[in-house]
Each structure stands twice: as C-alpha cells, then as structure tokens.
Amino acid sequence: MPGPAAGTAHAATTTDVVCLGESMVTFLPSQPGRLADVPSFGRGIGGAESNVACALAAAGHRAAWVGRVGADGFGDHLVETIAGYGVDTSAVRRDPDRPTGIYFRTATDRGAGAHEVAYYRAGSAASAMSSDNVPYGEVFAGRILHLSGITAALSGDCLALLRELTAERPGRPLVSFDVNHRPHLWRGGDASVLLELARRADLVFVGEDEAEEAWGIVGAKAIRAALPEPSVLVVKRGSAGATVFSGLRPGPRSSNAGGAESGPVSRSAEGGGAESAPASRSTEGAGAGNAPDTVTHVPALHVDVVAAVGAGDAFAAGFLSATLRGLPVRDRVRHGHLMAAAVLTVPGDLTEPPARDHADRLAALDDGAWGRLRLGPGWTAADRAPEEVRTS
C-alpha cells in the first residue's frame, strides 16, 4: 500500500481525529442477571474506536471513523447511529460477503466474575480490513490517528494493517494507541504484539492491570521502561487515577509542532501553558537517548457508577480533546476523568459529554476540591458552578 507523499498529510487537514477500528451492534440487557435469564435486550452500538470518535464529535471536534461493516441492516444501523453523533463516516466501507459483528452482554461490571459477553464477530466485515482495502488517504487526513489493540487481534490482515499505519514516515499524524487488551481475543495468540505496536505510537494509553495480564509488567515505572519510545504514555491505574510520562522523543515519527486548536498537534504533552496546581508532578530519567520524563499523577474522581462499560474509551476521548486544545497535562488527564465519569453514570457505552465550559470549570478546581468532587447520574446536564457540585 503506497503511503502519502511526504509533507502532504496535513496540507489540507479539516479533521481533528480519525479513528480506525471495528464497531459492532451491542445488545444491552433489560434487567440484571445471566444471559440465559434476560428476557429482552435493547439495541445499541459498541466499538472502542467509534466510541472515541462519537465522544469527540459530541464534544465539538471534527472526528471521522474508518471501518468496515456488512451490507446488512446492522451495518446500516451502525453507520447511521455513528453519523448521528456528528462523526464523518464517508470512509466506511461495506462488505457484501461478510456480516456486521454483534454482541450481547450482561449488566454487571466487565471486571466482575458474573459478567458475560457473547460475541458474534468471527469472520466479520471488520476482520477483513487490510492494507489493500482501507482508504489510506482518509486514514491519514486528521491531526491525530487513533488506533487500538482490539483491531490487531481481529485477523492477520488487521495486524499487518496496524503495523503499516504505525510505521515511521514523513508527515505521519500523531498516532494515538490504546492497548485495549481483551484476553478472549488473544486466546491462542501472542499479545506481545501489542507492546510492539505501542512502541511505534506517539501517545499510548494502557491500564496497569492489562499490562500485567498481557505482558507480565507490573507498575507504572516498569511500563514506562518497557515503552520508552512514545512521547506521552498514559498509565491508567483504576481508582488510583492515572500517571502520565511525557517527554519529547527524537526521531522522524512526526514533524508536527504546536498544539493550538486549529493547528497540527505536538508530540510533546508539555505544550499549552503552565500547569496550575498539579496534583503530583516530578521529573525522572527516561533512558539513554531520551530527555528526562515529566511525570504527572492525577487522582481519579469519586463516581456513583451505573455501568463500568466504555469508560476507557471516554477517558481517551477526553484526553485527546484536551490535547487538541493544547491544555497542560494535568488538565488533559482531568478531562479524561470527567469524560469517563459521564459514561460511568449511564447504562451504555456512549452519552452526551458535559458542556465544555462546565468541564473546564471542574478541571480547574484546586486539588482539594477535585479530591472532594463526587459525580452521579445526571451530573453532565446540571452545568452548575464548581462550588455547587455535590462534594463529600
């Protein structure tokens, strides 16, 4: 697959973020219980990359989703629903021979022992994505290209595609990669390829739990040692919050500079002004050939959780949104937490994010107020001043 001409990838950019990956129709249970006992299901959509695109579009950014769906009713539903969020779906391809993937899940937390998911995605249209049928020009048309490890697990062609998209080349947009390790997708496979792909990205999201499960790596510092290449590494630590390692890396991956809302995005997380009252910030060595890291830790919010599904995608969307706006690291993480809190307080994978000025006010709280903040169902519609938000 030929790449774009050097220096032309951002010449006429009108898209902020392009997200590539599989989206599926999801069936949500009408009540708690085993799949065998649930009498009916409501239809929705689910897919890590399309979730990110929808959240970004709902937050006011220009987002595009690139994928492959079947020439069937479920494919129609996916494309129409995602487009309904304001996402550009013009680069989505229809497969006349393969179906759109679907899945059913229970209402319990994904991490709970009673949680069940039944996937019907083997041989799906998305699993046939390859360097031969993905519209390369559209994929590289944005300021950021967002990918995830789920795509790499779908097929050999999909893995080869991600290797191609993350290869170093002049004019490549900033590549964001969410590891998104799903154990059931890697049964009989080698999840170490996710480490390989992450090392080729500029911005990486990974959970401490998935790094341990996929690679046997324990702790944020050890994860950074295994991933020295990305300019920004976001280690999600569950209820403990998130730790960001940031430091400009040498090399030809991207010639972008800046971080303003209308310009190309910097590979460094340090643009956008001085940080205000960071929760925890330090400088650490990053290994030979790399500048020392700035390490920023931001505590998680207290959230009255309705359903713990889609929060990781929402966190990535919030962080990317703040990155596009050139905000400092602490605020990027806080916007990630806020976007995740919006999804955690609804039953499905997607919801309307808080208004930008509302989220900005909350992200600007001092550390004490941030630590006392508690968000529950309906908080995104309240749009109250910070001192009026329920705290404890």
Q: Which two tokens stand for residue 118?
A: 């039944």
- Helices then strands, counting H and E runs in the chain, come out as 13, 17
Mean local confidence (pLDDT), 354-382: 94
DSSP helix, strand, coil percent of the chain (3-state; round to 5)? 30, 20, 45
Quick one: pLDDT at residue 271?
Answer: 44
Quick one: pLDDT at residue 170?
Answer: 84
- Quick one: pLDDT band at residue 112, thresholds 50, 70, 90? low
- Quick one: pLDDT band at residue 388, thresholds 50, 70, 90? very low
User: With contact defined as beta carbons under 8 Å apart, do 223 and 213 qualify?
Assistant: no
Mean local confidence (pLDDT), 173-179: 97
User: 141 by DSSP, 3-state: which?
Assistant: coil
Among the listed ranges 135-139, 209-213, 253-257, 374-378, which one has the minimum average pLDDT value? 253-257
Quick one: pLDDT at residue 115?
Answer: 77
The yes-or-no verdict on residue 260 having pLDDT over 80 is no
User: With contact defined as beta carbons under 8 Å apart, do 180 and 148 qualify?
Assistant: yes
Q: From CA 392, how far away is CA 390, in angstroms rounded? A: 7
Quick one: pLDDT at residue 79?
Answer: 97
pLDDT tens, 292-322?
A: 889 999 999 999 998 878 899 999 999 999 9
Contacts with 380 (C-beta within 8 Å, 6 or more apart), sequence order = 342, 345, 351, 352, 353, 354, 355, 358
Better-scored residue on pLDDT, 358 or 32: 358
Quick one: pLDDT at residue 269?
Answer: 45
User: With contact defined as beta carbons under 8 Å apart, do 18 and 139 qualify?
Assistant: yes
The yes-or-no verdict on residue 97 having pLDDT over 80 is yes
Provide the mean pLDDT of the chain. Answer: 86
Better-scored residue on pLDDT, 201 or 257: 201
The yes-or-no verdict on residue 255 having pLDDT over 50 is no
User: With contact defined as beta carbons under 8 Å apart, do 149 and 48 qualify?
Assistant: no
User: With contact defined as beta carbons under 8 Å apart, do 179 and 209 qualify?
Assistant: no
Q: From CA 81, how far away is CA 170, in angstroms rounded? A: 35
Give the catalytic positions in this structure.
313
The yes-or-no verdict on residue 116 having pLDDT over 70 is yes
Q: What percent of the chain has pLDDT over 70?
A: 81
Quick one: pLDDT at residue 267?
Answer: 53
Quick one: pLDDT at residue 5?
Answer: 34
- Quick one: pLDDT band at residue 74, thresholds 50, 70, 90? very high
- Quick one: pLDDT band at residue 285, thresholds 50, 70, 90? low
Mean local confidence (pLDDT), 2-17: 51
Q: From CA 321, how far away is CA 171, in angstroms rounded? A: 21
User: With contact defined as beta carbons under 8 Å apart, do 347 and 27 qualify?
Assistant: no
- Quick one: pLDDT band at residue 258, thresholds 50, 70, 90? very low
| Number of neighbouring beta carbons within 10 Å of residue 287 | 13
- Quick one: pLDDT band at residue 262, thresholds 50, 70, 90? low
